[in-house]
Amino acid sequence: MKSIILKTASNYLLPLLLLFAVFILFRGHYKPGGGFVGGLIASIAFVLHAFANGLQSTRKLLRYPPGAFIPTGLAISLLSGLAPMFAGKPFMSAEWLSIHIPIIGLLGTPLFFDIGVFFVVIGIALTILFTISETIL
């Protein structure tokens, strides 16, 4: 599937889509969105890139194998759940800082939890898609 138009478009679309994914991720706390959808959008961005430029170049772009995103995300989520325990609170109780950052909003453990979900979803979607397409083609 080599098409100049798609190839050129994907080069511009990838950063845009990724930005959009991150935007959706941070937006989730107040408006529709969240880590799960954000992760799916990000993986669609990479899949589009893979369609246009071939799997190898997407893998090169990612640098790490997509499987590596899974443990990273799981660890972030788990740590965000464990963090309150150091302050003597039960596992997974939400802790917020009172700093308000534009776009991102409030900083707190649920945000990091959502970021973890984001990475896990990217890792899973890409692992499944890449593995299947590599085995098939």
SS3 of 6, please? Answer: helix
- Nearest CA-CA partner of 118 in 81, 51, 72: 72
CB-CB contact of 2 with 26 (8 Å): no
Q: How far apart are CA 29 and CA 2, in angstroms?
A: 39
Q: Rule CB under 8 A: choose which of 18, 68, 92, 104 binds another protein.
A: 92
Question: Which parts of the chain are beta strand (E)?
Answer: 96-101, 105-108
CB-CB contact of 117 with 36 (8 Å): yes
- Per CB under 8 A, 26 contacts another protein: no
Give min distance, CB of 101 to another protein, in A. Answer: 14
Binding mask of the shown chain, residues 98 to 137, with x at each position contacting another protein by CB under 8 A: --------x-x-xx-xx-xx--xx-xxx-xxx-xxxxxxx
Q: Rule CB under 8 A: choose which of 40, 68, 75, 83 binds another protein.
A: 40
The token pair that represents 15 in the structure block: 């950063």
Give min distance, CB of 129 to another protein, in A. Answer: 6
Q: Rule CB under 8 A: choose which of 16, 61, 94, 101 binds another protein.
A: 94
Neighbours of 130 (CB within 10 A): 21
Applying CB under 8 A, the residues found at the interface with another protein are 24, 28-37, 40-41, 43-44, 47, 51, 67, 70, 73-74, 77-78, 81, 91-92, 94, 96, 106, 108, 110-111, 113-114, 116-117, 120-121, 123-125, 127-129, 131-137
